[in-house]
Amino acid sequence: MTNSQKVTLYFVRHGETQFNVERRLQGFADSPLTERGIAQAQAVGRGLADVEFKAAYCSESQRVIDTATHALGERKIPLSTDVRLKEMNFGALESLMRSEITARYGNILETLFSITDLNLAAPEGESYSQLYSRTCLAIDEILKNHEREGGNILVFSHGVTIGNYLMQLTKSAKYLHHDNCSVSVISYLDGEFQVERVADTSFRERGGPLTS
């Protein structure tokens, strides 16, 4: 007999950033939220207003911390940062515009983002397998922190980090793009995961319109 309770994780990708607009590759590199990104974060926060959360966790990247802060607003939910929730490290490709990457490295992005091999990595970067391993360490710790009492937990992170985690967790052959401030939901109980939503923009849309 177990005393564990169901934990439901709400994964939220950060809002739009300056590098997103400029089409620069942004992994460990960081750039500030745009006005639209701030508005997206506020909107998803309003869209999740009816959900009671026990705690929130976020990547150490400032764009994610800012997204979490705007989304939480006045809600008194403890927020913890975790370096293991950061975006994939794109190594030598960090901060480069996609056009610059193509000029220097040819079709490397097409190969990298085809995700046909989980050992694929950018030059000097990390692979999808390595990314999944560190993400799992963070998520497993979060689940252990909350499985005794159960409840809903917010996890603010990045598009590839969230998408790769869900793809490998479910052993799916398909990676689903996560729009800015989209929400993915999985529940966990007694070693079993249940995927409830993937890359869902309805919470952000429900909290709209984007006023900033």
Q: What's residue 2's pLDDT?
A: 63
Closest to 18 in 3D by CA, of 60, 53, 66: 66
Query: Is 211 domain-assigned?
Result: no
Query: Is 2 domain-assigned?
Result: no
Query: Is 151 domain-assigned?
Result: yes
Residues 64-81: b if buried by 16+ CB within 10 A, e if exposed: bbbbbbbbbeeeeeebee
Query: Is 141 domain-assigned?
Result: yes
Q: Which two tokens stand for residue 19?
A: 């590098």
Query: Is 40 domain-assigned?
Result: yes
Question: How crowded is residue 93: how many other Cβ atoms within 10 Å of its Cβ?
Answer: 24
Question: Is the pLDDT at 109 greater than 70, yes or no?
Answer: yes
Query: Is 1 domain-assigned?
Result: no
Closest to 44 in 3D by CA, of 178, 193, 195, 175: 178
Query: Is 111 domain-assigned?
Result: yes
Segments forming the whole domain that contains residue 156: 7-206
175 vs 55, which has greater pLDDT? Answer: 55
| 79-85: average pLDDT | 98
98 DSSP assignment? H
User: What is the total count of domains within the chain?
Assistant: 1
For the chain, the farthest-separated pair of C-alpha atoms sits apart, in whole angstroms, at 59
Could you read off the pLDDT of 39-64 as tens digits, one per residue? 999 999 999 999 999 999 999 999 99
CATH number at 114 reads: 3.40.50.1240
Could you read off the pLDDT of 125-144 as tens digits, one per residue? 999 999 999 999 999 999 99
**200-to-13, 14, 132, 179 alpha-carbon distances in Å:** 11, 13, 21, 8
Q: What's residue 173's pLDDT?
A: 83
Considering the chain, what is the average pLDDT of its residues?
95
Q: What are phi and psi of 129, to 5 degrees?
A: -65, -45
Q: What's residue 3's pLDDT?
A: 81
**Which residue in 14, 146, 158, 178 is the catalytic one?**
14
**Which residue in 87, 146, 158, 178 is the catalytic one?**
87
Single-letter residue type at 65: I
Q: Lowest mean pLDDT: which of 129-138, 159-168, 171-180, 194-203? A: 171-180
Question: Is the pLDDT at 1 greater than 80, yes or no?
Answer: no
Q: What are phi and psi of 60, to 5 degrees?
A: -80, -10
Starting at the edge strand that comes first in sequence, how are the strands of the sheet with 151-157 ordered?
Answer: 79-81, 53-58, 151-157, 7-13, 183-189, 192-200
Could you confirm whether 87 is annotated as catalytic? yes
Could you read off the pLDDT of 184-208 as tens digits, one per residue? 999 999 999 999 999 999 999 999 8
